[in-house]
Amino acid sequence: MSLSLTIKLHLASSSSSHLTLNTHHHHAKKVKTFETFCYNTRIRPNPIYSTNPLIIPACRIRQRVQCGAMVKSSLIEPDGGALVDLVVPESVRSTKIVEAETLPKVQLTRIDLEWVHVVGEGWASPLRGFMREDEYLQSLHFNSLRVKDGSFVNMSLPIVLAIDDDTKGRIGSSTHVALLGPDGDFVAILRSVEIYKHNKEERIARTWGTTAPGLPYVEEVITRAGNWLIGGDLEVLKPIKYNDGLDDYRLSPKQLREEFDKREADAVFAFQLRNPVHNGHALLMNDTRKRLLEMGYKNPILLLHPLGGFTKADDVPLDVRMEQHSKVLEDGVLDPETTIVAIFPSPMHYAGPTEVQWHAKARINAGANFYIVGRDPAGMGHPTEKRDLYDPDHGKKVLSMAPGLEKLNILPFRVAAYDNKVNKMAFFDPTRAKDFLFISGTKMRAFAKSGENPPDGFMCPSGWKVLVKYYESMQAEEPSEQPVLST
């Protein structure tokens, strides 16, 4: 059954108490800073979705995005001043494919394809392809790129394409190469290529701050990658589609900016997540919207933006998360009139404060002028020791200082936990810490796997049922499960 959640224009309320605001916006009052997925190697051929009555039909979306005019959101400029769009016009597509057939071929993995998607739609603007060596070194060592006017934009994660010795040999002295998708179809042409050494240890150490074994992205991507990187300018031959029933949720930065302007939003606050939405998340998002209204904004819109690329194997898969998110809106936990739900196509690194800069920068390009950041963003447990890999507070501190993110308003939020006194999620009060229960993602998954219900008020019941159903289906499949190799 294909997903009938045809498109993501759920608009919702939002949360957060500590606000770091740029005071240049004409609606904002001057304030100071307050204290206050799943990409799995297994494939699920049958999504578990049911019809969502909150969905806006796809035909209405297509009418909105098929205009040729340049989109210019009034809220925040994309990095570099213009949004990158590298998908070639349909009128020249067949000519480009004929050319691609004559070029040396580079085979992409699923995660490589996700990066083509990210770069091609402009999430990494002003980047126009896989990084050449000078861009790679700037990103790796400075977390930023210098643009033509001499200014800097944030770019904390290297976006690179690895090749092996055999592929390098086949390319030889060719100037351009064709990129083949995992299914063997022509995806893109990479122009004016440059091949340079892939120093894996340096890349891992500088991106994650450790070379400890067990880092999910490292094991899935870097360890098995080739010893060379190839950079160049991308020409994407057709829009990237995954045919998983979720493509209508993958709004590009251009489409999001069009929607924000159509809705006459005067503030857009983005909330990134790779887990199901519980009532603590909703409290934070709703509280943020309330505070923005108190500051004088008239129509703040929440961009609920789950990550849709590679995630580690024990994260809840994307299709299940999207169904769970739809239940949160159906049940009114978030307001469907003031929320846009869309998928962010980036793979997940679990690189903590380094990666959270990428997450924030990409939302600038999507048109969001506020970004909510919480405890240990993009973090994970240490792969070999019983502790967090990163300091839980460093993500929000880094975002407040990161070069190239000055125009983005960072919204650190207070910690929410389950308050046993009132039997619901509430902001943590350290003066009565014993009254609060912290339910981690691991604990939540353990509840769902065992069929045990969490405390009342932790998550909307229909959303919880989605998770329980998923884990029941996983347990039913386990006896006959066969390993599936990723490419």
Residue 43 has pLDDT above 70, yes or no: no
- pLDDT for residue 2: 38
What is the CATH number assigned to the segment(s) 248-475? 3.40.50.620
- pLDDT for residue 480: 52
> Using CA atoms, how far apart are residues 305 and 249, in angstroms rounded to an integer?
10
Q: What is the mean pLDDT of residues 283-309?
A: 96
The beta-strand segments (E) located in 361-423 are: 370-373, 409-412, 416-419
Q: What is the pLDDT of residues 419-429, one digit of tens each?
A: 999 999 999 99
> Using CA atoms, how far apart are residues 285 and 273, in angstroms rounded to an integer?
12
**Which two three-digit tokens encode residue 447?**
């509840």
pLDDT category, 309, cuts 50, 70, 90? very high
Q: Which of 129-133, 182-186, 341-345, 409-413 shows the lowest mean pLDDT across its residues?
A: 409-413
Domain ranges of the chain: 90-236, 248-475
Assign 329 to helix, strand or coil. helix
Q: What is the pLDDT of residues 207-255, one digit of tens each?
A: 999 999 999 999 999 999 999 999 999 999 999 999 999 999 999 999 9
Q: What is the pLDDT of residues 251-275, one digit of tens each?
A: 999 999 999 999 999 999 999 999 9
What is the CATH number assigned to the segment(s) 90-236? 3.10.400.10
pLDDT above 70 coverage of the chain, percent: 83
Residue 357 has pLDDT above 90, yes or no: yes
Residue 113 has pLDDT above 80, yes or no: yes
Average pLDDT of the chain to the nearest whole number: 86
User: How deeply is 306 buried, as exposed, middle or buried, from its count of CB atoms within 10 A (0-12, 13-18, 19+)?
Assistant: buried
Residue 340 has pLDDT above 70, yes or no: yes
Which has the higher per-residue pLDDT, 272 or 12? 272
What is the 3-state composition of the chain as percent helix, strand, coil, each rounded to the nearest 5?
35, 15, 50
For residue 70, the tally of other CB atoms under 10 A from its CB is: 9
- pLDDT for residue 74: 63
- pLDDT for residue 440: 80
- pLDDT for residue 479: 57
Q: How far from the centroid of its chain's Cα atoms is residue 90's Cα?
A: 27
Q: Which of 158-162, 291-295, 447-451 shows the lowest mean pLDDT across its residues?
A: 447-451
> Using CA atoms, how far apart are residues 67 and 73, in angstroms rounded to an integer?
15
Q: What is the pLDDT of residues 119-165, one digit of tens each?
A: 999 999 999 999 999 999 999 999 999 998 899 999 999 999 999 99
**Which two three-digit tokens encode residue 346?**
């980036």
Find tokens 């507070």 and name the residue: 393
The overall pTM is greater than 0.95 = no
Residue 173 has pLDDT above 60, yes or no: yes
Q: How far from the centroid of its chain's Cα atoms is residue 52's Cα?
A: 23
